[in-house]
């Protein structure tokens, strides 16, 4: 390869790197500009109720973006919901099976609150009543109220808030 060909190759390489940087920055700006929550209508009231309940207790949700939506693939599984954003700081990504609609309101509330608690606070199955695996056999709205009261007590007294802080700082380390 002679000097002229080498210069041309270096120029093309520099142009490609610059274009990649420009496209990356533009994509990041577009994503940040769309930093609106994506909560499908059936779930909006449930999320608002969850958030309001915690806010009234003085607990702010440590999230920047919330997505709660249906996922048709779950209808072939035993799951009514999945917290895809668990252990992913600042992002809540909950998917719900279409079968969720066939359950009574207390069960629907339980599923949404359960998945949000996984996703927002990284709480595992069995740590509190709300986080048991699967729906309770008999479930009334007062059961959901009691489970939310227990969640508030847990978050105020026993929860290790460093779980969320460490996850958030780890994300900052990865993106620097």
- The reply to whether 24 and 52 lie within a common domain is no
- The reply to whether 6 and 57 lie within a common domain is no
Its domain, for residue 22, covers: 1-34
Q: Is the pTM of this model over 0.75?
A: no
Q: Which two tokens stand for residue 83?
A: 């917290």
- The reply to whether 61 and 20 lie within a common domain is no
Total structural domains within the chain = 2
- Decide if pLDDT at 1 tops 80: no
- The reply to whether 66 and 20 lie within a common domain is no
- The reply to whether 68 and 127 lie within a common domain is yes
- The reply to whether 78 and 161 lie within a common domain is yes
What's the pLDDT tens digit per position in 135-161? 887 777 788 888 998 888 888 887 777
Chain-centre distance for alpha carbon 136: 23
- The reply to whether 18 and 73 lie within a common domain is no
Q: Which two tokens stand for residue 11?
A: 């120029």
- The reply to whether 72 and 154 lie within a common domain is yes
Distance spanning both ends of the chain, measured CA to CA: 38
């Amino acid at each position: 390869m002679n000097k002229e060909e080498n210069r041309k190759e270096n120029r093309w390489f520099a142009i490609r790197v610059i274009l990649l940087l420009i496209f990356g920055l533009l994509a990041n700006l577009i994503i940040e500009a769309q930093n609106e929550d994506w909560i499908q209508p059936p779930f909006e009231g449930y999320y608002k109720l969850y958030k309001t309940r915690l806010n009234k207790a003085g607990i702010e949700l440590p999230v920047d973006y919330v997505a709660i939506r249906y996922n048709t693939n779950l209808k072939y599984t035993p799951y009514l919901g999945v917290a895809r954003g668990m252990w992913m700081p600042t992002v809540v990504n909950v998917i719900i099976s279409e079968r969720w609609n066939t359950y009574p309101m207390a069960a629907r509330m339980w599923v949404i609150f359960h998945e949000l608690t996984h996703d927002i606070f990284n709480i595992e199955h069995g740590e509190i009543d709300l986080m048991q695996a699967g729906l309770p056999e008999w479930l009334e709205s007062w059961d959901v109220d009691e489970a939310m009261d227990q969640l508030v007590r847990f978050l105020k007294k026993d929860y290790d808030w460093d779980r969320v802080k460490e996850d958030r700082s780890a994300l900052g380390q990865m993106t620097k």
